[in-house]
Amino acid sequence: MLEDGWYLMSTGELERALKAWRAGDVGLSAGGFALSITEALDFRNAGNVPDEQGRSLRLVLVFEDDSDLERLLSTRLTYEPDFHSSPSWRRPGSRPVNVVPLHRSKGPVQPGRPWWQDPEMKDLEQEWQRTGAVSGVRIPASYRGFVYKTVVALKAAGAEITAAAIADSISRWVPPAEAGRIRAALEDLQGA
């Protein structure tokens, strides 16, 4: 059964593990294997290039209820302390780290609300509406919901809020070309 931690799994293995998770089947062997933090970061730093079975890194984070969601950030920092940094480990053929949040509660999952209804996001949106910036960083209109979530995560991690820090954090989980477009849009506005 999946628990918090690193796994090396193919997409098919992950799908089988998730099916077993949903069914509560602790006996189903999905394939893949668990890694220590050191082993996972070594694999990631070598590029997170899939092995011959198509396996790449999956970081599983389990939560109980909505109040536990806030713990996910600190838990992620335990497993991947530099996850807000630019992914200097990427190489041709690399895959981004696949984070898999799993809800353990037996109750129904409450539907998410749009980003603009979240109190923190709403405050950032109001700041942006007034100034065109958030925490002193000018934000392109088309990326603001995306960037706001990153700003909140950076603040929670105690990181400095700069255009470069935002772009570095976002570059961890979007394709390199998109990361480049976001970085360029942020940098262009800072000089304006």
pTM: 0.64
* pLDDT band at 66; cut points 50, 70, 90: low
Say how far apart CA 128 and CA 172 lie, in whole Å. 24
Q: Which amino acid is at 64?
A: E
The answer to whether 26 and 17 are in contact (CB under 8 A) is no
Residue 106 has pLDDT above 70, yes or no: no
Would you state the structure tokens that stand for residue 36, as one six-digit string? 């220590």
* pLDDT band at 161; cut points 50, 70, 90: very high
The closest alpha carbon to 17, from 36, 40, 33, belongs to 33
Question: Where do we find the tokens 């796994």?
Answer: 7
Q: Calculate the dihedral angle through the C-alpha atoms of 176, 178, 181, 185, rounding to the nearest 10 degrees.
A: -120
Q: What is the mean pLDDT of residues 100-123?
A: 74
Residue 59 has pLDDT above 70, yes or no: yes
